[in-house]
Chain A
Amino acid sequence: MVNRVVLNNQIHRDVRIAAMRPTRENAEVNTVSVIPREFPRLLAHYPIFFTKNTETGRFETAALMGFQPQENLFFVDGQWDAAYVPLQIQRQPFSLITRRAEDSGEKPPSLDVALDMSQTVQSHEGQRLFLEDGQPTKFLQDITSMLSALVAGAKETYAFTGRLAELSLIEPVQIDIEFVNGSETKLQGLYWIAAATLKALPAAQLAELRDREFLEWMYFQMASVAHVSALVARKNRLLSGATAARP
C-alpha cells in the first residue's frame, strides 16, 4: 500500500534516502506516462504513444515498456535496462500532492512534496532531505525541480494533445504482434499521429504547430514507433530463454 506523507522539515529532519532506484512496485508497468520535454531522450529507447487517461478520457503521452499489463521489458532483474529512465519513474518515491485546505479554492492550488513511506527508502546511509536548520538540501531541491518539471510537463502535454485532437491529428492504432513462440497479442488503447491528416494540414495550422513546438514533438512520436520492433525483440529473447541483452 502506498503511504504518502507530506514532507515536514521537523518530522523528517533526520530522514535519509538511499540511492533512488526503481523498485518493482513502481517499475512493473507496461506504460509509463511521459512529458514532451523528455521526448528527445526517450527517443533513444522507447516507443511513445498517446493513451487516454482513464479518469478524464484526455490524451496523454506514454512510453511503451511491455505487452502485458505489468510487463516492463526494460526492468530486468531489479535493474533498469536503458540509459535514460523516464522522469515518472525517476521521481519515485517522491510525489507532489495538492494541499487540502485549498482544494476548493479558485486560485491554482499549492503543492507539497510527499514521500511514499511504504517503500524501503529510509536508511542510515544516503541523502538527507533537510539541513540542521530545516532548509532543504541540494538533493531535495533537485527532487522538487524534477517534480515541478513533471507538473509543468503535464500541462504542456494536455495543451499539445488537446490541440492535436481538435485538429483530428490523433488516431487509434491497433498493433498485432506474433512472438517467436507463436503466441499473439493485440495492443489496444494506443493512439498515434494521423499521418495522412498531417500531410494534408493547411499551412497556417502547420505554422501554428511549429511555433508551439508541437510539430517536433509529433515527429519524435512518429519516429519512436520504430522501437516497437526492438521491444518485440526483447520479449522474444525472454521467450526463447536467452538473457536480455545488456547495453
Chain B
Amino acid sequence: MVGGGTAGWITAGVLASRYPRRGEDGISVTLIESLQQPPIGVGEGTWPTIRATLKQIGVTETDFLRECDASFKQGSQFVKWVDGSDGDAYYHPFTLPAGYEERNLAPYWLEDPRGQSFAAGMCFQTEVCSRALAPKQITTPEFTGLANYAYHLDAGKFGPFLRKHCIDKLGVRHLYDEIVRVESKDSGDISQVVTKGGEVLAADIYIDCSGFSSLLIGKHFGVPFLSTKDALFIDKAWAVQIPYPTDDAAIASATVATAQSSGWVWDIGLTTRRGVGYVFSSSYMSDEGALEELKSYLGARGDLSRDLSFRKIDINSGYRQEFWIRNCVAVGLSAGFLEPLEASAIVMIELSAKSIANLLPSCHDGMRQAARLFNDTFRYRWERIVDFLKLHYVLSRRTDSLFWIDNRARESIPDSLREWLEYWRDHCPWHEDFPHREEVFSAASYQYILYGMGFQTYPAPWLLNDRDRNLAREKMNEAAQYAKTLAAGLPGNRDLLSKVRRYGLQKI
C-alpha cells in the first residue's frame, strides 16, 4: 500500500481485517507513508456505509467518535439551490422515503403532497435534522440508530486513528518512507518498489493511495485522467475552520450546502469546530471574489473574525480511465476526485476496499479478470456520481450568474443524465432505473433531489392505484407520528456526543 491518508488506512484496515494473518496462510499488508506529503484532509462527510466499514475494521464507535472529533450526520441540507430566494432549502436525509421497502410511493406524494415538501412528508428524519437532534440515544448500541446516519469527521485525525488500530490490532506493517523507484517485470506487472530509505519491497498486489501524486497509477503506469470539467465546473475551494461560540453550541445534524454565485459553501459541524469552505469555479469567479463571498457568508452568521486562516485548495475534477491495471489498484484521490457536494470521496474508498477484498485473486492468473470487473464497476460508479452531482445544478432555476445558467446548458449535461431526466417526466425513479447491486446513489437519493428541487413527474393515470394510494397515506401518517416521537425522545446532537465522550456507547 502506497500512501497513508484516509484511503490508505481504510483499505489497509478492510483488507487486514477480512484476511487476518494466519502464519504462512494469510495475507500481509505493508503500508508506506510519506512524511513529505501531509494528507489533504478534506472530505469530512461520510455515507452510512461507513458504519459497516468501521465495524469490519474492528474499531469501536466510542473510540472513533472521541478520537476523530466526529459528529453524527443524517443527511444534507441544500440552501438556496432551487431559486435562491429566502426560505429556499430542502433536505436529502439518509433514511429511505416512507414505504420504500415495499412500493414506490413518490407518485402519491406528487399527487397530494398535503402541504409538505417531499423530504418532510415522506421521511421522519427531516424533522430530526431540522432540530439538530442525534440519530440515537445513549442507550442505543454502537453503530445502530433510530434513524440512518453517518458521520462528519476530522480527516486529519481519522487517518492516524485508523493507523494505530491497523498497526496494533491488525498487524499491518508500517513505514515512513518515500518511493524512489518502481521496477517492472517483462509482463508489465510491478515487481518491486525501492524506497529512499533503501528498502526493497516486493508484493503480489500494489495499492496506490498516494493521493493527487498518483505515484503508481499515474506516474508509473500513465493511465489517462478523464476530466469531468465539462459537466462539473467546480475547480477551486477556500477552506476555513470556525470555532464554536460556546462549548455547548448546537451541532448541526446535516451537512449544510448553501449555493453562492459561482458554487456553494459547505458547512460541517464537528464536536470541536465547524469546517466551512466555498467551492467555486475559477471560470466564473476570481480567488479574491470567492474569498469575499465566503466572508460574507460567515459574516451573516456572526462567524467572521480576524484570526481565521483561509486555505486555498485546487480541485481537478475527474477520474482515471482505469483503476486496476496489472497488479496495481488505485484507491482514493489517485483514482479520482469530484467536488464534495454529496460526500462521495470516502464512500468510494470504502467501496473500492470492499471490492478489492472480494475480488482479490488467490493466484496471479485471476488478476486480469479481477481488474476487468473492478474497472467496469468503478467506471460505472464514477459516471453515476457525475450524473448525480450534475443533477443538483441542472434542476436549479437560479439566474443570478452565468455559472448557474451555463450549468443548465445542454452540452454540459451527460447524455445518461439527460435520458434519465426525460424518462423521469412520467416515471418516478425506482430500482429498475439503476441495475447495479450496490449503487452509490439509489433511486431514493434521486427522488430526494428531484422532488426537493421541484421537478415534476406526470405518471400516466393507469400507473396509479387505490391500494398504493392508501398505503402512501398510511406511511406518511406513520412518518409524521414517528417524527413526533423522535422529536420528544432524541437528545440533541451535541448532548449525545458529550455523553459519549463521558460514558461511551455500549456494544449491545
Which chain B residues border A168 with CB–CB below 8 Å? Answer: 507-508
Q: Is B353 an interface residue (CB 8 A)?
A: no
Which chain A residues border B508 with CB–CB below 8 Å? Answer: 165, 168, 170-172, 191
Q: Is the CB of A165 within 8 A of B505?
A: no
Per the 8 Å Cβ criterion, residues 14-63 of A in contact with B are 52-59
Q: Is B138 an interface residue (CB 8 A)?
A: yes
Q: Is the CB of B138 within 8 A of A56?
A: yes
Q: Is the CB of A55 within 8 A of B138?
A: yes
Q: Is the CB of A59 within 8 A of B506?
A: yes
Q: Is the CB of A57 within 8 A of B505?
A: yes
Q: Is B462 an interface residue (CB 8 A)?
A: no
Q: Is B309 an interface residue (CB 8 A)?
A: no
Which chain A residues border B504 with CB–CB below 8 Å? Answer: 57
Q: Is B139 an interface residue (CB 8 A)?
A: yes
- Least CB distance, B489 to chain A, in whole angstroms: 10
Which chain B residues border A52 with CB–CB below 8 Å? Answer: 139, 506
Determine the distance from Cα of A168 to Cα of B507 in the docked complex, in whole angstroms: 8
- Least CB distance, B483 to chain A, in whole angstroms: 21
Q: Is the CB of B507 within 8 A of A57?
A: no
Determine the distance from Cα of A200 to Cα of B139 in the docked complex, in whole angstroms: 27
- Least CB distance, B153 to chain A, in whole angstroms: 21
| Count of B interface residues, CB-CB < 8 Å | 12
Q: Is the CB of B507 within 8 A of A56?
A: no
Q: Is the CB of A54 within 8 A of B507?
A: no
Determine the distance from Cα of A55 to Cα of B137 in the docked complex, in whole angstroms: 9
User: Contact mask A80-93 → B, CB, 8 Å, 1/0?
Assistant: 00000000000000
Which chain B residues border A165 with CB–CB below 8 Å? Answer: 506-508
- Least CB distance, A216 to chain B, in whole angstroms: 23
Determine the distance from Cα of A46 to Cα of B139 in the docked complex, in whole angstroms: 24
Which chain A residues border B507 with CB–CB below 8 Å? Answer: 165, 168
Give the residue name and chain of the A residue nearest to B139 (CB): A52
User: Contact mask B472-507 → A, CB, 8 Å, 1/0?
Assistant: 000000000000000000000000000100111111
Give the residue name and chain of the A residue nearest to B138 (CB): A57
Per the 8 Å Cβ criterion, residues 172-200 of A in contact with B are 172, 189, 191
Partner of B499, one of A57, A59, A172, A191: A57
Determine the distance from Cα of A55 to Cα of B504 in the docked complex, in whole angstroms: 12
- Least CB distance, A134 to chain B, in whole angstroms: 39
Determine the distance from Cα of A199 to Cα of B108 in the docked complex, in whole angstroms: 55
- Least CB distance, A160 to chain B, in whole angstroms: 15
19 extra interchain contacts, Cβ-Cβ under 8 A, other than A56-B138, A56-B503, A57-B506? A52-B506, A53-B139, A54-B137, A54-B138, A54-B139, A57-B137, A57-B138, A57-B140, A57-B499, A57-B504, A57-B505, A58-B503, A58-B506, A59-B506, A165-B507, A165-B508, A168-B507, A171-B508, A191-B508
9 A-B contacts (beta carbon < 8 Å) = A56-B503, A57-B137, A57-B138, A57-B506, A58-B503, A165-B506, A165-B507, A165-B508, A172-B508
